[in-house]
Structure 1
Amino acid sequence: MSVAVVPEHPWLLPGALTRSPTVVRRTARDWVVDSLCFLLALAWALFSFGDAVSPDPELALNAGPGWLVGVDLVLGVWVSAALWLRRRWPLALAVATAPLALFSSSAGIAMLVILFTVLLHRPLPTGAALVAWHLATTPVYLALRPDPELPFWPAVAWTVLIVGVAVAWALFVRARRQLVLSLRERADRAEAEQQLRVAQARQLERTRIAREMHDVLAHRISLLSLHAGALEFRPDAPPEEVARAAGVIRASAHAALQDLREVIGVLRAEAGGEAIPERPQPTLGDVPALVAESRAAGVRVGVVDEVDQAAALPAAVGRSAYRIVQEGLTNARKHAPGTRVTVRLAGGPGDGLAVEIRNPLPVGEVVGSAIPGTGTGLVGVAERVSLAGGRLAHGRDAAGDFQLAAWLPWPAS
């Protein structure tokens, strides 16, 4: 059998002010408060009994009938002891002791504590009904046990004042605990939102890394495949050409492994560890090296550079232009080997940067094994251009060539 356990402060749980817990675990503070309430209620019960048996006729007037003195003492002690159960069953205890408000003096303090508990932990309509009962029974109590010092109406006013103070105190404590609950919920919600933002940032970073890995490794592996295909179909090539192709294959494989190692290192650092600084990202100034690499692999590449004030180009725009050129050269090696590729760069501050990669479509079927691809290269380029606020177009133009053209915004400085 499982038993539900409520935390030390059950009022800090959502809905705790409107539901009854199964098991209450008292804290040290709760023990101190409950002990003081019990001792205070018990002391009042004994004090009331002492007044009732006093030889002073005025005090004895408040005792009522003789048989009520002993009964009232027993009931007062019983209700005082029942205060230990008020945290678990406050409403049931209030209903059970409600009739005592008609005649009991010894249980006065104990019933005030019970009223305070109901107002604190139960819905306000329930507490209001209990308060109304105590106020309605006041005239009956005073008629049965009149106050020896105060007339009837001042005694009623004094009773209403005492009950009002208890109600105001209970409502103040209730509002304060609800405020604590609200602030804690806000803090928990803010912490959850912060964790969500961190998770989203990590996911975006992983997406960026995956995009960069696709762009870089597709370029490297296409070079490997191109040279390996040349060695496969030219087994009788001169030793110098074989050595040069093997050197390019080795260099491309080493660079691909290096790029892959850096990506894996970043992912491992995100999983938990020290962050590994990234190497500088490519910019527009690295395009000549990219073209030279493709030329070394046997691709005929022509470059038309009409960029004005290239040094003032923002790094993010230059990086996007580099990736577009890289993807265009990779696609040309994959789908149109042996054709001439033309790379055109143009633009300036305020006019934007135009990037165009053009190559004739191959005639007939491509000889040899096609370089495998994921088919997502242009999708990644389109996403990159869209995020940069630019435009992208690709496909066959009027001359029958394949064209990859992009325009990227370049704000005037």
Structure 2
Amino acid sequence: MITWLRHPRWRLVGTLTSALLSGLVVLVLVRGSALPEDPEAVPTAEALRLSLLLFGDLLAGLLAVAVLPFALRPFDDGGTTPEVGARSTGSRWALVAGLVVVAATAVSTLAVPASLILLVSFASRRPRAWFLASTAMLALAAWVNAYVVEPGDPLPVWVLLLFVLGVAGVAGLIGSARRSRRSLMRSLRQEADAARRERAAHIEQVRAAERTRIAREMHDTLSHRLSLISLHAGALEYRPDLDAETVQQTSRVLRETARTASQELRTVLTVLREDGQGTAPDPGLSALEDLLVTDGAAGAIVDLELGGELDKTTVGEVPAVTSRALYRITQECLTNARKHAPGQPVRIRMHGDRHEGITFTATNPQQLARTMEPEGGFGLIGLQERVQLLGGRLHVASTAGAFTVTAWLPWPN
């Protein structure tokens, strides 16, 4: 409902309605106070003059309210700058329409609220010259009303001019405040959009860097497996005297090595590789103890639990790609805990088997003064990209007093 009412068309309807109703109130108050107490005692000429004056007031006021939309065009205060509005098609006619609205106040009290709305609009959305022109027209209309239309007991010119400048000054201050507020909101929106674009670009860079890192890690591992295949195949070619059992064992090694190499190659083909620098892979779960010892020496309190088919004797059986991913997730969680919750204990759980996969959970208390964002940092974004490429899932949750990272990775047979 609120969004519907904010539409420029309905805002314009509300403005016109306000101008008309407030103008009618002013008309009744001003013209009503000028009516004689005994209408029968009024001469015919004076009655005719008052009737013409009331009819002209009403007619000119309705004309001013009808012309007001053309002077306010375009009406979208939130997105129209004065410079754009001044150069838009038909802007000169908007100025003419505004001057007509202000000029109507020379004979119409009903047009006074419409002219005040126009002055505020010109001060907030139009070039400065438009506001000055409308102010000059208001002064001229006030002089005509005081000395031509109703020349009974006119005010001194300097008093009349001072009154017009006071009214225009208040309207100008209101319009300037609205102009400043719109400029501030526009700059804040632009800064927010720029920040979102910058963060999106940074996220893409992190994802691309993580993809490249995975490809580099695969380089040596895949080369090693392909060299094993070549070595065993060469042995079968140049040793035709091998017994059947040796040939069977060698064929089994070839099959398993080729299958593993095919899985890793499929992962490599899903990422881009920019160069061949730094192809040494990250350590895997076998180096997890060294990581915990290093962090413990730095003051970290880490509680590690392995469950299911995953224990210290079977971590070497986890596929290399999955093992490195779990190591990187653990490393990132410890880094985040050391950075955002120093001195707090970190609880890490890894449970899994060859059928259900491996579930990873890391939890650490969260200090209120250093609350992390629910979506995590850029390091976790890179890990999420890595996990998704392996067919897994990673979720980060920030609750009252705790920060939790949960991941699931497949454990291929």
Instruction: Give the alignment's TM-score, normalised by structure 1.
Output: 0.50
Instruction: Give the alignment's TM-score, normalised by structure 2.
Output: 0.50
